[in-house]
Structure formats: C-alpha cells, structure tokens
A and B are shown apart, each in its own frame.
Chain A
Amino acid sequence: MIKNIYNLGDAALYCDFGDTVNKETNLRVINYFNDIREKNIIGIKNIAPSYNKLIIYFDLELTNYKKIKDIVQNLDISTFEAAKTKLVKIPVCFDDEFALDLERVEKKTGLTKKEIINQLVAQKYFCYMTGFIAGMPFLGDIKEKIRLDRLETPRVKVPKGSVGITEQFCNIYTFESPGGWNIIGNSPKKVFTKDPTKLTLIDPGDEVEFFEISKKEYSKFNEQK
C-alpha cells in the first residue's frame, strides 16, 4: 500500500507507493485515486496519479495537511480491485515525414524500420498515467529491443499526434509541445477531446494497441485539424 506520506508544499499530500514502476504498483495508485475521488472528501481539489505516486491537492482555506493525511491513512483499500479497463486501438502512420527520429532509433537498436514497427505493433500496452500535456498517455512496457534513451537535446516543438518511445515507454503527443522522446510515427486519432463528458480516449489502467496505416489512410482520418 502507501509506503510513505509527505507534504508537498503547504497544500498537497505526496503519497509514495515504493520505488518500483510496474503494473501492480501502478494499479494500487489507480485504486487509491478512484476511491478518493468517489468519496468526495471536503477540501480536496485535484489528484494526480503517476507510476508510483499519488499527489493530492487541497484547498488550504477548507482543510490542511494533517486532516487530509489522517483521512488518506485510514482509507480501507485492502480489497484490491482490478481497474475497469478498455482496449483502445490507435492508428499510426510511420511515413518518413512523421518518423522524425527513425534514423537514430535504427542506429541505436540495430533494427530496420520494418522491424521497429513490428516490435511496436506486436503487443498491447498498459496505460500507467495521463498527463504532462492534456491527455498524453504514458504507455508500457515496450519490447526490450526498441528501448533507448531520450534525445540528448529535447525538441522545442514536437508535432501534435507524434508517437514517441523512450526507455520502457511509448506515448502520443496530444498537442504540440516541447519533448525529448524518439519520434517514430504520428497518429491522426484525437486522443484528447473537448467533450467534458469524455475528455480522454485513453485512461490510466486501459490497454492500448497500435496498428499501422498508410499516408493515404492518415489523411482520410483528418482528425488532428
């Protein structure tokens, strides 16, 4: 369960679930997140789940660190539920126009373009968290053969829709943003919508599968515009 609780500044509770990043730890984080949200605890304004941490922001005018800590420590989340998940299929075009770092990935992994694509589309991924920019999913774990470090110098602007890999993870840049992941393709699928009832296509705990599309098929989707 929660290994340690600290304060992050004067208006947030920082819950540490341990050092390892794996599905099991992350599902615990998601369980706590769902439970705390459902309870509508007075003063809690925002909750940020990540791989192995949960940060709870509260309104200092209504409550304080000690009160929220007492509540969170005494939550009974021993019954461990598997998150309600769905499978999301994401089309990706790997055309050279979009695969900005393909050469680098080929060099570092010793694989051909075809092999890299096959490795990426061969399996389902688990969504650990969404964020950094709105709706961006952090997915894992990618095959060991295509794991590599971030770019030495991050890009100032990664194009919207870019599909990137680094370490054990892959992601989709839902908006144009600075970023250092290795970009190997682009998806026309809208992963963050403006529909308040369903803002994100992919949520923590979901499964994601990529499938390859041609450039022609890409322009037919036309969703990124």
Chain B
Amino acid sequence: MSKNSFKVLRPGINTTFQDLGRDNLYHVGLPFSGAIDKRNFLIANSLITNREDDAVLEFAYQGPLLEFSGSQTSIVITGNVNFKIIKKDASEIKGECYRTYNLNNKDCLDIISTEKSVYGYLTVKGGFQINKFCNSYSTTVRAEVGPNDGKKIEIGQTIILNDVDSAIEKSLEYLNSKIEFIRVIKGTNFDYFSEDSIKDFTSKDFIVSKLTDRMGMRLSGPKIKNLKKTNIKSEGLGKGVIQVPADGDPIVMLSDHGTIGGYPKIAVVISADYDKLAQCPPGEKIKFKIVNLKEAENLYKIYTMETKNIINKIR
C-alpha cells in the first residue's frame, strides 16, 4: 500500500519544515531557526496530539496548495489563516484555524494566505516523514541545512506522511491578540545614541518595512542618530537583537539571523514579545517600550503560563 502523502501543487512563498529550533551551533554560524511563532507552533502540535517538538510546516503570507493521497489523515492549521479544503467531488469547505479536519484521498488543502499576520502552521497527525539535521527538524534555507535538503518546499514535490491509525477530532477557541507595545531591554550599545533619538525610539511609531523575512525585520520611522560610532567589532547576535546601522533605520534579528554582526545594539526584544513582533506584517506600526530585566523575566513566566492555559483548553 502506498503511503500517505501530499503532492505540492503550489509551494507558497516561504514554506519550510520547522520545530523548536536547533541548539548549540552558533559558533559555526548556524542560528537557532525554528518556528518563528512559538506559541502557535506548540498549539498546533498539541491540537493534533503530536509530540511537543514534532515538525510542522511553517508558511508565510501565501501558503501551499497540497493534494492528499492515501487513506485518511487529520490536519490542523494555527495562526490567522484563510484556507479551504477542496473535496474530491469539488465541494469546498471554508477552513477554521484551531480545529482538526480529516482529509481523504485526493482532497486538496488550499492555504490561501495569512491575515494581518505573517506566519501560520500546518501539522499532520503522526507528523512528516523527514530527517533531523543535528537533532532538529528546523530548516535554515540560507545554509541549506535541515529537512528537505535545507530547501523551501518546491512545486511538484511529494511530502511523505507518517502512518496513522485513526483520525482525531480536537478544537480550541483562541484568538491571537495584539499588544500595544513591543517591550525591549536596553542593548549593550544603548549609550551610543542621542538623547533625542532614544526619546523617539521609545515614543514614536516605527513601520515594518518590506525588507523583512525570517532573517530580520527592517523598520522605518524616525532616524536613530548615533553619536559614538556606527560600527563595532563584529560580535555575536541573537534573535530579538535590534541593531542600528549607519543609515539610522533599526533592524530586528529574527530566527534565521546572521550569527555575527558589527552594528551597535540599541535594544533587545524581550522573549515574551518576540512572537508578536515577528507576526507584524510589512506596513504595520509598532511602538517600543523599555522594561528592566526583572520585568522581562516575569513577563516571560506569564507568557509560558498563558500558553499552557491555552493548551489546557483544547477539547
């Protein structure tokens, strides 16, 4: 009997396998990568009753169009996603996020687009039949590492699914919320910048520019003026670090960032707010607010508790 599989009829803009990220390789130049929106990743695996760190397909903006072959499987989509299921008889079902759907032979899943957000997640019961690279299912396209030979999903390819014994039915009532501010901690070069620029940084709107992908997010808004020097000795970077190059437009490092950089670091996005920042699409306005380390640690505790509470509501 042939295995359950998806045929990729349309790959989408940036569809990759991801998990919780790949540790311990910064020193060779490989970032964590992994699902950008950790909460929606965890919810997706919980809803489909996979392991917490199982692989998902992450898509950005336009997602894939997949044709299912095999006996039967269950899927879940999380995020703010517009999608539909086209049954074999051509009837269509409008998709809702955060609930399972069963697919039968020759049903198509059309992930049309994410809405007012960037990333969405597709999980399949039993998971995908893919290999780990250095203990992780995360893909880093720029370094060509991860499942699928480190590549984005491509048109015409077949994605093999692990066998499952039975379909499942699960759902969750959940709405992705926006927050008023993206909270940050002062960066290691905070004092390089003029007083007026610091005031602008913490009071004015910044707009997410089109120069945004899994590596980084470029912002536009008031120019941040550097009084000291616009280059530092190249040093390590991490996700959420906000660098300001000579042109004065901040860049936020996202999960696939270069591991070394030489621009001054004005601030770092707190761990609790990373998902929400990374989900802001180009054109969206954001405001920064400075908090201290203690506050950031408490906010992360609240974030993880909230995630657990959401997952506990799955029926």
User: Are B28 and A131 in touch, CB under 8 angstroms?
Assistant: yes
User: Are B185 and A21 in touch, CB under 8 angstroms?
Assistant: no
Name the contact of A134 in the complex, choosing from B145, B261, B293 (C-beta under 8 A).
B145
Name the contact of B143 in the complex, choosing from A19, A55, A138, A192 (C-beta under 8 A).
A192
State whether the Cβ of A3 lies closer than 8 Å to any Cβ in chain B: no
Residues of B within 8 A of A175 (CB): 142-144
- Give A133 to B145 CA distance when docked, in angstroms: 12
Name the contact of B293 in the complex, choosing from A10, A37, A47, A177 (C-beta under 8 A).
A10
Smallest CB gap from A137: residue in B:
B29
User: Are A7 and B25 in touch, CB under 8 angstroms?
Assistant: no
Whether A48 touches B296, Cβ cut-off 8 Å, given contacts A175-B143, A194-B144, is: no
- Give A164 to B67 CA distance when docked, in angstroms: 46
A222 to chain B, nearest CB (A): 17
State whether the Cβ of B282 lies closer than 8 Å to any Cβ in chain A: no
Residues of B within 8 A of A8 (CB): 187-188, 238, 241, 265, 268
- Give A8 to B190 CA distance when docked, in angstroms: 11
Residues of A within 8 A of B241 (CB): 8-9
A34 to chain B, nearest CB (A): 10
User: Are A132 and B32 in touch, CB under 8 angstroms?
Assistant: no
Whether A50 touches B238, Cβ cut-off 8 Å, given contacts A45-B23, A131-B28, A196-B133, is: no
User: Are B236 and A55 in touch, CB under 8 angstroms?
Assistant: yes
A32 to chain B, nearest CB (A): 12
User: Are B269 and A61 in touch, CB under 8 angstroms?
Assistant: no
- Give A106 to B144 CA distance when docked, in angstroms: 35
State whether the Cβ of B30 lies closer than 8 Å to any Cβ in chain A: yes
Residues of B within 8 A of A131 (CB): 26-29, 236, 258-260
- Give A37 to B26 CA distance when docked, in angstroms: 12
User: Are B23 and A46 in touch, CB under 8 angstroms?
Assistant: yes
Name the contact of A10 in the complex, choosing from B133, B258, B259, B270 (C-beta under 8 A).
B270
State whether the Cβ of A170 lies closer than 8 Å to any Cβ in chain B: no
In chain B between 207 and 235, which residues have their CB closer than 8 angstroms to a CB of chain A? 233-235
A167 to chain B, nearest CB (A): 10
- Give A65 to B26 CA distance when docked, in angstroms: 19
State whether the Cβ of B304 lies closer than 8 Å to any Cβ in chain A: yes
Whether A9 touches B268, Cβ cut-off 8 Å, given contacts A53-B236, A134-B145, A194-B144, is: yes
State whether the Cβ of B140 lies closer than 8 Å to any Cβ in chain A: yes
User: Are A7 and B185 in touch, CB under 8 angstroms?
Assistant: yes
In chain A between 184 and 205, which residues have their CB closer than 8 angstroms to a CB of chain B? 192, 194, 196, 199-200, 204
- Give A12 to B241 CA distance when docked, in angstroms: 11
User: Are A134 and B143 in touch, CB under 8 angstroms?
Assistant: yes
Smallest CB gap from A178: residue in B:
B258
User: Are B260 and A132 in touch, CB under 8 angstroms?
Assistant: yes
Residues of B within 8 A of A54 (CB): 236
State whether the Cβ of A6 lies closer than 8 Å to any Cβ in chain B: yes
User: Are A134 and B30 in touch, CB under 8 angstroms?
Assistant: yes
Smallest CB gap from A49: residue in B:
B27
A2 to chain B, nearest CB (A): 14
Residues of A within 8 A of B177 (CB): none
Whether A12 touches B145, Cβ cut-off 8 Å, given contacts A50-B233, A134-B30, is: no
Residues of B within 8 A of A21 (CB): 233
Smallest CB gap from B150: residue in A:
A194
Residues of A within 8 A of B126 (CB): none
Name the contact of B233 in the complex, choosing from A9, A51, A133 (C-beta under 8 A).
A51
User: Are B238 and A132 in touch, CB under 8 angstroms?
Assistant: no
Residues of B within 8 A of A125 (CB): none
Whether A130 touches B28, Cβ cut-off 8 Å, given contacts A48-B260, A50-B236, is: yes
Name the contact of B238 in the complex, choosing from A57, A133, A177, A192 (C-beta under 8 A).
A57
Smallest CB gap from B268: residue in A:
A9
- Give A175 to B271 CA distance when docked, in angstroms: 30
State whether the Cβ of B155 lies closer than 8 Å to any Cβ in chain A: no
Smallest CB gap from A129: residue in B:
B260
- Give A129 to B29 CA distance when docked, in angstroms: 9
Whether A194 touches B145, Cβ cut-off 8 Å, given contacts A10-B185, A48-B27, A131-B29, is: yes
Residues of B within 8 A of A199 (CB): 25, 28, 30, 134
User: Are A46 and B24 in touch, CB under 8 angstroms?
Assistant: yes
Residues of A within 8 A of B30 (CB): 134, 199
A122 to chain B, nearest CB (A): 25
In chain A between 40 and 93, which residues have their CB closer than 8 angstroms to a CB of chain B? 45-55, 57, 60-61, 64-65
Interface residues of B, Cβ cutoff 8 Å to A: 23-30, 32, 133-134, 140, 142-145, 150, 185, 187-188, 233-238, 240-241, 258-261, 265, 268-271, 293, 296-297, 300, 304
Q: List 9 A-B contacts (CB under 8 A).
A: A8-B238, A10-B185, A48-B236, A48-B259, A50-B234, A133-B258, A134-B28, A134-B143, A135-B28
Q: A9-B269, A21-B233, A177-B142 are in contact. List 9 more A-B contacts (CB 8 A).
A: A8-B187, A8-B241, A10-B271, A49-B236, A50-B234, A55-B235, A55-B236, A131-B29, A134-B143
